Amino acid sequence: VKAGAAEVEIGDEGVQFIKVTSLTQFGVDWIGVISIPWESVMKELNDTKFRTLLLGMLIVGGIKAFLETFRAYVQTKMIKRAVIPGMRQTLEDELSNQLRALTGCRSS
């Protein structure tokens, strides 16, 4: 008998996961066989797969919401610190130029 693992269909019991292990101890060759029914393994997997999928989707959704909030925060800060002051300065310069053009004054 060779050590190894396989899936085997055994009569009316259905598909089984079989693990065969050999052990030599005290001059005696032992063979250990472990058999686990396919249905018992798959039942646990089937019971948890939807919960795991839902949990994963909630985690991804939470990360996406956090990133969107962070992006909006950074964008708002950038507008307040860079864009609005730049626009204000440009507007003041343009108004000053228009006023000089209307009054005939020239800048030095």
30 CB burial (10 A radius; 0-12, 13-18, 19+): exposed
DSSP code per residue over 25-94: ETTEEEEEEEEEEHHHHHHHHHHHHHHHHHHHHHHHHHHHHHHHHHHHHHHHHHIIIIIHHHHHHHHHHH
Q: How confident is the model at residue 105 (pLDDT cuts 50, 70, 90)?
A: low
Q: Is residue 1 pLDDT above 80, yes or no? A: no
pLDDT digits (tens, 9 = 90+) for 21-53: 888 888 888 888 888 888 877 888 888 888 999
pTM for the whole thing?
0.46
